[in-house]
Amino acid sequence: MPETATSEFDLAIIGSGGGAFAAAIRAISLGQRVVMVERGTVGGTCVNTGCVPSKALLAAADARHVALDAPGRFPGIAAIPGPVDMPGLVAGKDALVEGMRSEKYADLIEDYGWDLRQGDATFTGDAQDPVLEITNTDGAVETVRARHYLVATGSTPWAPPVDGLEEVDYLTSTTAMELQEVPESLIVLGGGYVALEQAQLFARLGSKVTVLVRSRLLSGEEPEVSKTLMGVFADEGIQVVRRAAVESVATDPATGGVVVAATTGAGRQEYTADRLLVATGRRAVTEGLGLETVGVATGDRGEITVEDTLATSHPRIWAAGDVTGHPEFVYVASAHGITVVENAFNDAGQRVDYTHLPRVTFTSPAVGAVGMTDKQATAAGIRCECRVLPLEYVPRALVNRDTRGLVKIVADADTGRIVGITAVAKDAGDLAAAGVYVLSAGMTVDQLATLWCPYLTMAEGLKIAAQSFRTDVSKLSCCAA
C-alpha cells in the first residue's frame, strides 16, 4: 500500500471546469492556498467536450450549408462545396480545443500558482472532520485537509432506460464529435438544445436525420419557437416525429445499423438508420465521491442539494456548476464558483438569482431567450400582453435573405414592463444578451420602442417588436422606424 502524505489548504476543489477555475482564481486573489483535483483532462466539459468543440463544428456545418444554399438566396452567387473531410474537420476542432485548453485553463494554473493533483478524490473521515483522499495517477495516495471544499465535477450525458439500448453502440453528444465519417443516416433521441444542435449539425454535413421527441422541440420555450424550428428542419430535410415514446432499440441484422421502435400518434413505428445519437439530458457526476460519508445530501438524480448560496448540507463543503442540477451553462458555473469563494471566505451571503438568466440554443437560426415565457408569466399571476414579430419585418433579416424566425415580447399589461423576450433569428443569443439589460432595468415596451438602435442590425428587431404594441409595423418605413 503506497504511503499516504497529508497536505493542508484553504480551498480544495474537485473538478477543473469553468466553475472550478473561477473559484480558484478568486480564491488566489484573496490570498488563499488552493489545490485542484482532476481525474481526467483539465478544463471540464465546456472546452473539451461541450460548448467549444460543438460550436466549432456547428460553425463549420453552417459554412457548408450557406455555400450550398447561396445560389438560391443570393442571385449571382455560385458555390459548390465538395464532400466533407470528416477527419480533417475533427482534427481542426481538436486543435482549437487544445489551444484554448492550454491558454485558458492549463497555463493559468501556473500563472496564478495553485496546486494541481491528477487523480481520483474521495471524501473520507466523517461529517465532523471531512478530508479528501486523492489517489494520484501514479498510485500514490495523498490526504488533503482544507478549511473549505468545493465539488465542481460537472455532469455527463445520460441515457434513459430503453430496452436494448445498452446492447447498441449508440452515440452521445461527446462521442458524436469524434466520428471520423459522416453517417449516411442518423436517428436522434431528444428534443432539447443538444439534440437539436447535433441533429442540424449532421444534417448539414450530409446525414439523413430523424429526430424522435416525446413532446415538442425545446418544450420549455415559447410554442412559437417549436413551430418555427419544425419548419426550418423540414426545409433542411430533417424529419421530426413528435410525441414519440421509444420502446426498444436493436441492431438491424440486415445493415448492421439500428432499429428504433416507438409509439407515436400513428401507432407503433420502426425507424432505421446507420447510427443512433442519444441526447436526452445529462446527470451530475457524484458517484465515488464519498459524499454520503461526510453528510452531503444529494437529490434523486445524484445532484448535490444546495441552497441559493451554493452551500450544501455540510457547512464546509460547497458545490458549483452542473453538479448542483442548476441550469447547465458554463457562465452559471463560473458565477457559482465566484459566489462560493465570496461566501466561504468573506461571509458575503451572496445568493444566485436566475431571474434574468439568458439561454441560447445554437441552431440556425438560433434561439435566444431571457425572462419568462407567456405561460410562465401567466402562472406567476401576471396579466400578460404579448406581441410576436415575424422576421419579415426586420430589415436585417430581409437583407440576409432569411426571414425564418421571430421576436416575441411578453409584457405586464398593467404596467407595460417587459418580463420576457424570445428570439429565433441569426445571432439570437446577442438579442438575449441585450434582453438581459432590458429586463434588469425594468424597461417598458414604450421605453424600448423609443430608444436608439442602429439600423440593419438584428437587435433592431427588439425595438420594432416593442413598437408593434402601439403601431402597425407593416406600415413603417424600413429606414425611418
pLDDT over threshold 70, residue 481: no
For residues 257 and 340, state if they share a domain. Answer: no
**Pairing between strand 384-390 and 406-412?**
antiparallel
Q: Does any domain span residue 24?
A: yes
For residues 135 and 263, state if they share a domain. Answer: no
Range of the domain at 153: 4-49+90-157+283-345
299-327: average pLDDT: 97
The count of structural domains within the chain is: 3
End-of-domain residue from the set 265, 280, 295? 280
pLDDT over threshold 70, residue 390: yes
Binding residues for NAD(+): 190-197, 281
For residues 406 and 386, state if they share a domain. Answer: yes
CATH number, residue 370: 3.30.390.30
Q: What is the pLDDT of residue 328?
A: 95
Q: Does any domain span residue 72?
A: no
DSSP string, 395-447: HHHHHTT----EEEEEEETTT-BEEEEEEEETTHHHHHHHHHHHHHTT-BHHH
pLDDT over threshold 90, residue 347: yes
130-153: average pLDDT: 94
Average pLDDT taken over every residue of the chain? 94
For residues 138 and 43, state if they share a domain. Answer: yes
For residues 315 and 214, state if they share a domain. Answer: no
pLDDT over threshold 80, residue 2: no
For residues 240 and 222, state if they share a domain. Answer: yes
Q: Does any domain span residue 79?
A: no
Q: What is the pLDDT of residues 392-413, one digit of tens each?
A: 999 999 999 999 999 999 999 9
Q: Kindly report which listed range (94-98, 432-436, 441-445) carries the lowest average pLDDT score.
A: 94-98
For residues 318 and 244, state if they share a domain. Answer: no
Cβ neighbours around 462 below 10 Å, total:
25
DSSP string, 269-327: EEEEESEEEE-S-EEE--TTS-GGGGT--B-TTSPBP--TT-B-SSTTEEE-GGGGTS-
Burial class (CB in 10 A: 0-12, 13-18, 19+), 293: middle
Q: How much of the chain, in percent, has pLDDT values that exceed 90? A: 88
Q: What is the pLDDT of residue 288?
A: 95
**Helices and strands in the chain: count of H runs, count of E runs:** 13, 20
Q: Does any domain span residue 271?
A: yes
Binding residues: 55, 153-155, 190-197, 281, 322
Q: In 3-state terms, what secondary structure has residue 122?
A: strand
End-of-domain residue from the set 261, 280, 299? 280
For residues 297 and 173, state if they share a domain. Answer: no
Q: Does any domain span residue 479?
A: no
Q: Using CA atoms, how far apart are residues 12 and 340, in angstroms rounded to an integer? A: 12
End-of-domain residue from the set 295, 318, 345? 345
For residues 176 and 312, state if they share a domain. Answer: no
CATH number, residue 212: 3.50.50.60
17-31: average pLDDT: 97
Q: Does any domain span residue 58?
A: no
Binding residues for FAD: 55, 153-155, 322
Q: Nearest to residue 442, comparing CAs of 425, 407, 409, 418?
A: 418
Cβ neighbours for 99, distance < 8 A, ≥ 6 positions apart: none
For residues 97 and 129, state if they share a domain. Answer: yes
Q: Does any domain span residue 59?
A: no
Query: 39, 319 in Cβ contact below 8 A?
Result: no
Q: Does any domain span residue 431?
A: yes
Q: What is the pLDDT of residues 115-128, one digit of tens each?
A: 999 999 999 988 99
Q: What is the pLDDT of residue 41?
A: 92
For residues 272 and 290, state if they share a domain. Answer: no
Q: What is the pLDDT of residues 67-96, one digit of tens each?
A: 888 777 888 887 777 789 999 999 999 999
Q: What is the pLDDT of residue 4?
A: 65
Q: Enter the pTM of the model.
A: 0.94
